Chain A
Amino acid sequence: MKTFEKILLTNMERSGYTGSLADYEGAGGYKALKDVLGKVPPNELIEMVKKSGLRGRGGAGFPTGVKWGFIPKDHPGPRYLCCNADESEPGTFKDRQLMERDPHQVLEGIAISCYAIGAQTAYIYIRGEFRLAAKILERAIADAYRAGHLGSDVYGSGITVNVSVHAGAGAYICGEETALLESLEGKRGKPRTKPPFPATHGLYQKPTVVNNVETLANVPHIVNRGAEWFSSIGVPPKSTGTRVFCLSGHVKRPGNYELPVNATFRDLIFELGGGMRSDKPLKAFIPGGASAPFLTPDHVDVQMDFESVAMAGSMSGSGGITVMEEGTSMVWAALRLMEFFYHESCGKCTPCREGSSWIVQILQRILNKQGRPEDLRTLTEICENIGGRTVCAFGDAEIAPVQSTLKYWRNEYEALIEEAEALKGSRKEIPVLSVAQV
């Protein structure tokens, strides 16, 4: 693996760095904000971020500068920035580290982004379970206000930036940007139909940008070192910069590893992650959070940038890589993820709400050796009737584990169904849905 310079984890990996305001300022923090506020026109900032090639780190990978550019210039306001800290994609745990170990890096990114889009108010929508991260952020915000990095008339520029933390209460779907806005408005977190998009009709129907924690944390660095520097990392012009990849599953050293976006899965899993935890070889991995289709050992030399993973038939999504060793049942793995999606479906769209329940029932049946020969066709059909037929991307996400395991490990499904056929007649019980959780 080629040497490279880390961007986001550099500070926190330094010995003795606590993430306090003094530590952050000592490491050159808030310089970018001071340099731009009232000095660089917001338009230029947006252009800079466009040129950097920075793309959303939450999952969709939408170009950040382009998103900012959608905010109507002539709108009288108010406008809002929402920092999406609802990190809930199974396999992803980077934002938690960014917030708990270097909260001011995120706050500076938020303040600069607010200025760029002309927002005076930012909300950090953090998942309710992250109590410690919320506490750390609240303390950091109070410190930043006291030091004059936030508040009204920041550095005498006449610019106002107010930031507050808004904790959710347990709902995966609130990481979807329009569901996040609904939840922030105090309603059930159900995604909105688009268009209109948040850029024109977002929070309280006002122009709004929703950006992921890691995305925003990159912004001060782009300001400090320039768009060209950032876009020279990775595969310009489309996938640039570094990403904090989250490694989990059957590896020796799971954790957060920052790498250029074009590092390979091999670099992550076998070099930084230390390889498989036992002698069992790699069987499968999920390349970008639970919503990304499974990949096989044939794909370990694929680069982790958005385009390369898409070419391999999956998506780099939220950057969460989960590794599974030989011996893991793929039907079981698909079921476990489906149970997650079944639990988290918000219920707004029929195909997703009903489909996820049906898929769970069929997979449970197959795994319990009570499957039927027609089940695989039914599964395929249900998936086809969910994908593309829902308001948000959740529908496309929930079919990924089923479709991809059916594609690569169909024999495992077939073997279980054959076993069920052989057992037929020897038992009388009726298959019952048993949801393992309460």
Chain B
Amino acid sequence: MIFHKHQDTVNDILSRYPVKRSAMLPLLNLAQKEEGYVSQAAIREIAGILDLTPPQVFETATFYTMLNLKPIGKFHVQVCRSLMCALVGADPLIDWLRKHLGIGLGQTTGDKLFTLSAVECLGSCGTGPMMQINDDYYERLTEAKVGQILKDLRETGDCSLKSGPFMVPERGEGVASS
């Protein structure tokens, strides 16, 4: 029972919508947060909560690329490969990550720590190349910076290089506009 201990959260989510089915994505996102992926059990449970059949939940879930329908590593490294990031060096970075982690795209390291994906635009085009790892954005990446991020995550499970509230250019950065 994935949602059992989150009963308050589930009720809060359901209370926001006049139609139950609207809680679909919030519940799928919650399930993924809890288990790291959307399991068959979670799909059955969500179907029960929303008065739907499991296939209805499953067919919806397959539409959304963020939802992992299979278990993945503890850290999901998603590097943006779209044009804006590619112009400023996303491709060499992806190659470097592949070599450094010793895995291909869509694969997980043997220790189950890292899964590597190349994804489409994450809405961070002015600060590329960039990647998202689990909930956090990491921007203006260099090989050295990525190496540090992976090291920190491996050792402490967290990394201080993640982005805070976004503003580019930052106050006092570059020239003041006229």
Report which A residues bind B (CB closer than 8 A): 1, 3, 6, 12-13, 15, 19, 78, 87-93, 95-97, 100-101, 123, 127-133, 136, 164, 166-172, 183-189, 204, 246-250, 253-258, 272, 274, 290, 320, 322, 324, 328, 333, 336-337, 339-340, 343-344, 346, 436-438
Q: Is the CB of A128 within 8 A of B83?
A: no
Q: Tell me which of A6, A88, A249 contacts B84 (CB under 8 A).
A: A249
Q: Is the CB of A93 within 8 A of B67?
A: no
Q: In the complex, what residue of chain B is closest to A162 when comparing beta carbons? A: B16
Within 8 A of A (CB), among B39-58: 50
- Hey, which chain A residues are within 8 Å of B60, CB to CB? 186-188
- Hey, which chain B residues are within 8 Å of A436, CB to CB? 81, 105, 118
- Hey, which chain B residues are within 8 Å of A172, CB to CB? 120-121
- Hey, which chain A residues are within 8 Å of B117, CB to CB? 437-438
Q: In the complex, what residue of chain A is closest to B64 when comparing beta carbons? A: A169
Q: Is the CB of B168 within 8 A of A101?
A: no
8 closest A-B pairs by beta carbon, nearest first, are: A438-B106, A186-B24, A170-B66, A169-B64, A186-B21, A170-B65, A254-B126, A248-B125
Does B1 reach chain A (CB closer than 8 Å)?
no
Q: How far is the CA of A93 from the CA of B80 in the complex (A)?
A: 14
- Hey, which chain B residues are within 8 Å of A257, CB to CB? 177
Q: In the complex, what residue of chain B is closest to A187 when comparing beta carbons? A: B60
| B124 CB, min distance to chain A CBs, angstroms | 6
- Hey, which chain A residues are within 8 Å of B178, CB to CB? 1, 3
Of B28, B88, B167, most buried by chain A (CB within 10 Å of CB) is B167
Q: Tell me which of B26, B123, B164 contacts A93 (CB under 8 A).
A: B123
- Hey, which chain A residues are within 8 Å of B22, CB to CB? 166, 184-186
- Hey, which chain A residues are within 8 Å of B165, CB to CB? 19, 100-101, 132, 136
- Hey, which chain A residues are within 8 Å of B125, CB to CB? 90-93, 246, 248, 254, 320, 322
Q: Is the CB of B82 within 8 A of A322?
A: no
Does B86 reach chain A (CB closer than 8 Å)?
yes
Q: Is the CB of B18 within 8 A of A247?
A: no
Q: Is the CB of A171 within 8 A of B64?
A: yes
| A233 CB, min distance to chain B CBs, angstroms | 15
Q: Tell me which of B25, B81, B121, B167 contacts A12 (CB under 8 A).
A: B167
Q: In the complex, what residue of chain A is closest to B168 when comparing beta carbons? A: A255
Does B135 reach chain A (CB closer than 8 Å)?
yes
Q: Tell me which of A1, A186, A320, A324 contacts B50 (CB under 8 A).
A: A186
Does B23 reach chain A (CB closer than 8 Å)?
yes
Q: How far is the CA of A183 from the CA of B67 in the complex (A)?
A: 14
Number of B residues, CB within 8 Å of A: 58
Q: Tell me which of B28, B84, B166, B169 contacts A91 (CB under 8 A).
A: B84
- Hey, which chain A residues are within 8 Å of B83, CB to CB? 90-91, 290, 322, 333, 336-337, 340
Q: Is the CB of B59 within 8 A of A132?
A: no
Q: In the complex, what residue of chain B is closest to A290 when comparing beta carbons? A: B83
- Hey, which chain B residues are within 8 Å of A93, CB to CB? 123-127, 166, 168
Q: In the complex, what residue of chain A is closest to B105 when comparing beta carbons? A: A438
Q: How far is the CA of A327 from the CA of B161 in the complex (A)?
A: 32
- Hey, which chain A residues are within 8 Å of B118, CB to CB? 436-438
Q: Is the CB of B25 within 8 A of A166?
A: yes
Q: Is the CB of A255 within 8 A of B64?
A: no
Of B20, B132, B178, most buried by chain A (CB within 10 Å of CB) is B178
- Evaluate whether A101 and B82 lie within 8 angstroms (CB atoms) in the complex, with A171-B65, A438-B118 already known: no
Q: How far is the CA of A78 from the CA of B126 in the complex (A)?
A: 40
- B164-176 vs A: 1/0 string, CB under 8 Å? 1111110100110
Does B87 reach chain A (CB closer than 8 Å)?
yes
Q: Is the CB of B18 within 8 A of A188?
A: no
Q: Is the CB of B167 within 8 A of A97?
A: yes
- Hey, which chain B residues are within 8 Å of A254, CB to CB? 125-127, 168
| A429 CB, min distance to chain B CBs, angstroms | 21
Q: Could you give 20 example pairs across A and B, Cβ below 8 Å?
A: A12-B167, A89-B121, A123-B16, A128-B66, A136-B165, A166-B16, A166-B26, A167-B26, A169-B65, A170-B66, A170-B67, A171-B64, A186-B20, A186-B60, A247-B126, A248-B128, A254-B126, A336-B82, A436-B81, A438-B105
Does B142 reach chain A (CB closer than 8 Å)?
no
- Hey, which chain B residues are within 8 Å of A167, CB to CB? 25-26, 29
| B42 CB, min distance to chain A CBs, angstroms | 14
Q: Tell me which of A19, A130, A185, A187 contacts B123 (CB under 8 A).
A: A130
- Hey, which chain B residues are within 8 Å of A90, CB to CB? 82-84, 120-121, 125
| B76 CB, min distance to chain A CBs, angstroms | 11
Q: Is the CB of B169 within 8 A of A186?
A: no
Q: Is the CB of A88 within 8 A of B121?
A: yes
- B134-172 vs A: 1/0 string, CB under 8 Å? 011100000000000000000000000001111111010
